Amino acid sequence: MERRISLGTVGHFGLAVRNPKKSALWWERVFDLQRVFEGDDYVGLTNENVTIVLSEGVPHPRTIGHMSFHLPSMGALRRALDWLKENDVRVEDPGDEIGPEAPGSSNMGLWFHDPDGYRWELSVLAKRR
């Protein structure tokens, strides 16, 4: 009998940020996240898909290459790109912006950075035949 743990939906993850309350304001302005809890040196933001805990500390953006969130369609991805630009979010490759997740991939994505330097991706999975 194989004994491996089956991973489910991400419950939450935490990031060290310079100023949790300031970072939380950015996340709330740009994304559909609401504060679910907070203390002197942390803020928890959530929606129906994920909870992000921002804790005061030294940011280490290189500790994770990036984190990706799936969007339902290319239309949603294009609207997201427009919204990121409207909110002065630093988007990578400010020419083609939306492209394959990796060479040869049929999944499409875009990459951006939050105010603490962490790299994020919004992506659309290719239709499976």
* pLDDT range class, residue 129, cuts 50, 70, 90: very low
Bridge partners of 40?
none
| Residue scoring higher pLDDT (129 or 59) | 59
* pLDDT range class, residue 96, cuts 50, 70, 90: confident
What average pLDDT does the structure give for the chain? 92
Kindly tell me if the per-residue pLDDT of 102 is higher than 90.
no
pTM for this entry: 0.87
- Comparing C-alpha atoms, which of 49, 43, 94 is closest to residue 69? 49
Contacting residues for 57 by C-beta, under 8 A, at least 6 apart = 16, 17
| Extents of the domains making up the chain | 10-59, 61-129
* pLDDT range class, residue 128, cuts 50, 70, 90: low
Rounded CA separation 42/53 (Å) = 7
10-59 and 61-129 share one fold: yes
**How many CB atoms within 10 Å of residue 47?**
12
Rounded CA separation 64/5 (Å) = 22
What confidence tens digit (pLDDT) does each residue in 72-84 have? 999 999 999 999 9
pLDDT at residue 9 in the model: 81
Mean pLDDT value of segment 77-97:
90
Kindly tell me if the per-residue pLDDT of 35 is higher than 50.
yes
User: 61-129: what fold?
Assistant: 2,3-Dihydroxybiphenyl 1,2-Dioxygenase; domain 1 (3.10.180)
Mean pLDDT value of segment 30-47:
97
User: 10-59: what fold?
Assistant: 2,3-Dihydroxybiphenyl 1,2-Dioxygenase; domain 1 (3.10.180)
